[in-house]
Amino acid sequence: MATLQQVREDLVDKILKITVAKSGIDVSQYRRTISSGQISVPSTESAGMYNQTSPEVIYQEDYQTSQLQFDTTINYVVNNCLSNGTDYTIVDYSQLSYVKADGKSRNFRDDQPWQSDYIDFSGIGGADENKTACSADYLYVPEIVPFLSQFFTFEETQTDINTDVARDILDTNIFELLPGNLTRQQEIDNFFKEYNRLKGAIPFFGDIPIPDQGDPTEGDGLLDALAYDPEGSTDPVDYIPYDPQHDIVEFTNPYEGFITRLDENVPMGNTNQNKTLEWLYEDVKLFLDDKLQEEGEEFEDVRPTYQNKSSGYLKIRNLNQSIIIRNGESENIGMENWETDGFTITMWVRFKDRVGSGTLFNYGNPLRGKDPVGFKLETFVVNKNDPISTAWPTYGDYVTDQNVWTQDSGSPFFSDNDYERFVRLVVKETDENETLRDSHVGISYDSGRVRTEVSPVDIAGWATSGLTESNRLAGMLTYTRIPIDFDEWYFIVASYDPTIDEDGSFALATDDCPTTTIFHQNHNTIECSRNPDYWRGNIDPINSYTPTYRSGYGARCKVEVISKTQLITARGFKMED
């Protein structure tokens, strides 16, 4: 339903349109204008056509109520014939009638044939609409005319324009006086265009010995910013200081010069403070620390140089050469209870070739064919051209096809060398199953590799378990890797902890672990069986698989390696050159 004001304005609008269309009135004779703040009344209206005070309405949309007959009738029709006391209804054109009355029952001028015409409202309302019938209500046209002040008559003729002649005379290239919004790229383009215009020419840098000019920095062996002599001399002794010839001087010549080069050339409080090339340089450096470092800008290393504490070391020239440790006072050497107490072996090692394999430490031999017993720490190498399977003829093919990454360098195997060196701890337990355990883990790559319950070194166990030889050979990449660097020392820590629930860890390894290692590139989580940190005991499967220093789960055998450089750096020292 419409509001009172909407119904009133709509009724007035339709009355005026019907009157203009039916009466034949020349509305230009009744048009009002505003001049110097005053409303000008047409002569036909001021001649006494209708003896009432006319409303000062400029547009028909600006209908305002007053006490004229027009307003009184409009208000009556709206409030009684178009309202049921609660809601208002928009009138339809069909409910309004324009009635021509040819008689002269009203005493008006003869040049106004519409003087007795009127708008009949008898079609509005009635009992069927639950509204008052308007059969006795009407408006004479002279009562409507004052509200036609801003109607315009239509011109029935037009002036044709010769477009060809107009194009010859008129300038059709029209430019917008106010520029539109610039895109960010346009703003950037404009900035660099202005910068290239205002930075000026690059100065000549050199050191000139002209001590008689009183500048102690000249002839000191350091670079000075110079400009060529204005007269064109190419002799360095004729060069003059660059800055006074280059920089803008705001007060003496505001339309010449370029961006001031140095902060020291801008007086305190001057407009160009923080608007120099030197200021720009310092500001840009904040965004380019990585590039400045790459390009060789030197940073002073204030760390102290590490000094070795011992006077030397014992050199074993070849693998499988050994030192035998004996207890001279008894038969025991202190390692007899290793199966219940566990053990940790540490040693510094530097490998002098890339192909040698062998034992680094052993107590018994867990891999011998007859009565295997004890444990050993050993190293071995894998060549990228070594055979592995029919699907992947070599290790290199396997690594490339499966995108197999190392656990420590964040790059695929064989990225820097055709060889990869590994260390592993192998233990033969003397339980009823004579379990053979070692330090291999699970790793993650395209398809991933879970840690197996059978050790890759247990050839017989793999054969009887139904696992393929190619799987066993691929498992050789899951041991602890040592980068090949003939000049680097590595600190190896190998441990065996019998309290670790290794057997129970496999059932808990099927859930997802958080990604805690750099080698896994594609997912936020991976299955724990493929996460090496899970098997090293650093993820707790009982407490929502959160990282920890010791979970009690994983592999009983663990080997960790840190280089001397990494260890010294972590302690806040720098290495000797």
**189-203 pLDDT, tens per residue?**
999 999 999 988 887
CB 213 within 8 A of CB 224: no
Least Cα distance to 233 among 270, 208, 260, 199 occurs for 208
Answer whether residue 508 shows pLDDT above 80.
yes
pLDDT of the residue at 519: 46
Answer whether residue 528 shows pLDDT above 90.
no
pLDDT of the residue at 45: 47
Instruction: Report d(CA 311, CA 523) in Å as an integer.
Output: 48
Answer whether residue 371 shows pLDDT above 50.
yes
Q: What is the mean pLDDT of residues 13-28?
A: 82
What does the longest C-alpha to C-alpha distance in the chain come to? Answer: 153
Looking at per-residue pLDDT, the higher value among 227 and 188 belongs to: 188
Percent of the chain with pLDDT over 70: 72
Residue ranges of alpha helices (H) inside 426-563 are 459-465, 469-474, 502-508, 532-535
Strand ranges, E, within 143-278 = 204-206, 224-227, 240-241
pLDDT of the residue at 530: 84
pLDDT of the residue at 482: 95
Looking at per-residue pLDDT, the higher value among 294 and 208 belongs to: 294
pLDDT band, very low/low/confident/very high, at 391 (cuts 50, 70, 90): confident
Most confident residue range from 82-91, 327-336, 394-403, 460-469: 394-403
Sequence-distant (6+) residues with CB within 8 A of 336 are none
CA distance readout (Å), 144 to 12, 88, 104: 9, 23, 18
pLDDT of the residue at 54: 44
Residue/partner pairs of 122-129 with CB below 8 Å, 24 or more apart: 122/97, 123/94, 123/95, 123/96, 123/97, 124/77, 124/81, 124/82, 124/91, 124/95, 124/96, 125/80, 125/81, 125/82, 129/84, 129/89
pLDDT of the residue at 427: 95
Instruction: Report d(CA 40, CA 27) in Å as an integer.
Output: 15
Least Cα distance to 78 among 31, 14, 28, 21 occurs for 14
Q: Minimum mean pLDDT among 197-201, 203-207, 351-355: which range?
A: 203-207
For the chain, the average pLDDT equals 78
Answer whether residue 58 shows pLDDT above 60.
no
pLDDT in tens, 59-103: 444 445 445 678 888 888 888 888 877 788 888 878 888 888 764
What HEC string does 64-98 produce? CCCCCHHHHHHHHHHHHHCECCCCECCCCHHHCEE
Torsion 329-333-336-342 (CA) sign = positive
Residue 119, number of CB atoms within 10 A of its CB: 23
pLDDT band, very low/low/confident/very high, at 23 (cuts 50, 70, 90): confident
Q: What is the mean pLDDT of residues 533-552?
A: 91
Answer whether residue 442 shows pLDDT above 90.
no
Reported as type and span, the H/E element at residue 359 is strand 358-365
Q: What is the mean pLDDT of residues 121-136?
A: 66
pLDDT of the residue at 350: 92
Least Cα distance to 63 among 19, 15, 9 occurs for 9
pLDDT of the residue at 235: 62
Most confident residue range from 73-77, 284-288, 296-300: 284-288
Answer whether residue 301 shows pLDDT above 90.
no
Instruction: Report d(CA 504, CA 147) in Å as an integer.
Output: 98
pLDDT of the residue at 336: 80
Residue with tokens 């008898």: 122
Q: What is the mean pLDDT of residues 367-392?
A: 90
Instruction: Report d(CA 401, CA 388) in Å as an integer.
Output: 13
User: Which residues, in sequence order, are bridge partners of residue 349?
Assistant: 490
Instruction: Report d(CA 461, CA 355) in Å as an integer.
Output: 27
pLDDT of the residue at 523: 46
pLDDT in tens, 131-165: 666 765 778 888 887 777 655 555 556 778 888 88
Reported as type and span, the H/E element at residue 379 is strand 373-383
pLDDT of the residue at 380: 93
pLDDT of the residue at 85: 75
Sequence-distant (6+) residues with CB within 8 A of 308 are none
Answer whether residue 227 shows pLDDT above 70.
no
Instruction: Report d(CA 214, CA 206) in Å as an integer.
Output: 17
Sequence-distant (6+) residues with CB within 8 A of 474 are 388, 389, 398, 449
Q: What is the mean pLDDT of residues 339-362?
A: 91
CB 490 within 8 A of CB 561: yes
Instruction: Report d(CA 207, CA 215) in Å as an integer.
Output: 12
Looking at per-residue pLDDT, the higher value among 283 and 146 belongs to: 283
Answer whether residue 502 shows pLDDT above 80.
yes
pLDDT band, very low/low/confident/very high, at 223 (cuts 50, 70, 90): low
pLDDT of the residue at 147: 73
Looking at per-residue pLDDT, the higher value among 331 and 95 belongs to: 95
Most confident residue range from 90-104, 307-321, 371-385: 371-385
pLDDT of the residue at 253: 73
Q: What is the mean pLDDT of residues 339-364?
A: 91
pLDDT band, very low/low/confident/very high, at 419 (cuts 50, 70, 90): very high
The conformational region for residue 331 under phi > 0 = left, psi -120 to 50 = alpha, else beta, is: alpha
Residue ranges of alpha helices (H) inside 77-213 are 141-144, 163-169, 184-198
Sequence-distant (6+) residues with CB within 8 A of 220 are 207
pLDDT of the residue at 126: 60
Answer whether residue 505 shows pLDDT above 50.
yes
pLDDT of the residue at 176: 62
Residue with tokens 């038969």: 331
Sequence-distant (6+) residues with CB within 8 A of 321 are none
Which amino acid is present at 53?
T
Answer whether residue 561 shows pLDDT above 80.
yes
Answer whether residue 433 shows pLDDT above 80.
yes
pLDDT of the residue at 209: 53
pLDDT band, very low/low/confident/very high, at 342 (cuts 50, 70, 90): very high
pLDDT band, very low/low/confident/very high, at 406 (cuts 50, 70, 90): confident
Answer whether residue 175 shows pLDDT above 70.
no
Q: Minimum mean pLDDT among 56-60, 252-256, 479-483: which range?
A: 56-60
pLDDT of the residue at 411: 80
pLDDT of the residue at 234: 58
